[in-house]
Amino acid sequence: MKLGVILHRTSWGMYRIKELAARVAALIPKIMESASQENTAASASIPSRAHRQQHWNRIYESKGPQDVSWYQRRPDMSLACIGASGLDKDACILDVGGGESTLVDFLLDAGYKRLAVLDVSGVALNHSRLRLGARAGSVEWFEEDVISFVPPHRFDLWHDRAVFHFLTTDDDRRRYVATLRKTLQPGGTAILSTFATNGPPKCSGLDVMRWDEQSIVAELGAEFQLHEVHQETHITPWKSEQSFVCFRFQWRPARTLREGGDRQERV
């Protein structure tokens, strides 16, 4: 073959390769776009869990316990409501979204033995474990998003201060109540403390929903009987006022519950 013909064929081949590469490059943004759309559709709840975790971890990494608006030296209202539920000291108590709250310390001091703290922020849980030192070993710790939590056993009391009000979608609140129902013992107590209707519309940069007696009763449903309501003015570390309302419910499920197929409770 003559040199001229060989050169012509080689440069034609190079041209075709370059053309093909340009076509593939043009397709890449479209492939990426459709992959990211699929991701969003297939796992709508995962980004929100990851975002929550990132948001709260960042707060607990960058602020000390007394630099956050919800700080309380002693969680008096929570302790009073837990006391009013009349539980034995060996009752199982779960502090949902406990963060760095010292509620667990005060409950240990009061002689409660079976305590657990759940929070989406592992950073907050680590700070609480460090604060408690050796006493942390007697507490169960769950680094979980409450709306997808699968409890390893049931609890006699569910305590939530300032978590439920961050759930601003119907779907998240429906999942919260579903978790509550599979976590609580029938007859158990649920204490929810939220911003009141005249409380702040935002906390820690996030929108909140504010609650009163009527709206929360409607949200939880008739199986949750309201036993106690307290208005509370929380004073932040920088001396501003926030209106909270604390609700104590008893769960009276209307139908038979099956747990894991091996245990049946009729209430």
Tokens at residue 13, please? 């081949």
56 binds ligand SAM (CB under 6 A): yes
Q: Give residue number: closest CB to ligand SAM.
A: 99
> For residues 76 and 79, what is the distance between their CA atoms, to the nearest angstrom?
5
Q: Considering the complex, state which of residue 166 and residue 224 has its C-beta at the smaller distance from ligand SAM.
A: 166
Q: Please give the residues from 151 up to 190 whose contact with ligand SAM meets the rule CB under 6 A.
A: 161-163, 166
- DSSP letter at 169 equals S
Q: Considering the complex, state which of residue 77 and residue 92 has its C-beta at the smaller distance from ligand SAM.
A: 77
Q: Considering the complex, state which of residue 128 and residue 185 has its C-beta at the smaller distance from ligand SAM.
A: 128
Cα torsion angle, 61, 63, 65, 71, sign: negative
**Which listed residue (85, 101, 183, 185) binds ligand SAM by CB under 6 A?**
101
Q: Which one of 33-41, 95-103, 131-139, 234-242 is the stretch in contact with ligand SAM (CB under 6 A)?
A: 95-103
Tally Cβ neighbours within 10 Å of residue 123.
Answer: 19
* Count of residues near ligand SAM by CB under 6 A: 19
Q: Which residues pair with 142 in a beta bridge?
A: 118
Spatial neighbors of 243 by CB under 8 A, at least 6 apart, are 195, 196, 197, 198, 199, 231, 232, 233, 234
**Which listed residue (52, 175, 234, 248) binds ligand SAM by CB under 6 A?**
52
| CA distances in angstroms from 95 to 21, 221, 244, listed in the order given | 57, 22, 17
**Which listed residue (91, 124, 157, 216) binds ligand SAM by CB under 6 A?**
124
**Which listed residue (116, 139, 146, 246) binds ligand SAM by CB under 6 A?**
146
DSSP, collapsed to helix, strand or coil, labels residue 234 as strand
Q: Considering the complex, state which of residue 114 and residue 161 has its C-beta at the smaller distance from ligand SAM.
A: 161
What is the Cα 244 distance to its own chain's centre?
19
**Which listed residue (82, 147, 157, 245) binds ligand SAM by CB under 6 A?**
147
**Which listed residue (82, 85, 91, 99) binds ligand SAM by CB under 6 A?**
99
229: nearest Cα among 193, 185, 177: 193
The site for ligand SAM (CB under 6 A) is made up of 52, 56, 70, 97-99, 101, 119-121, 124, 145-147, 161-163, 166, 203
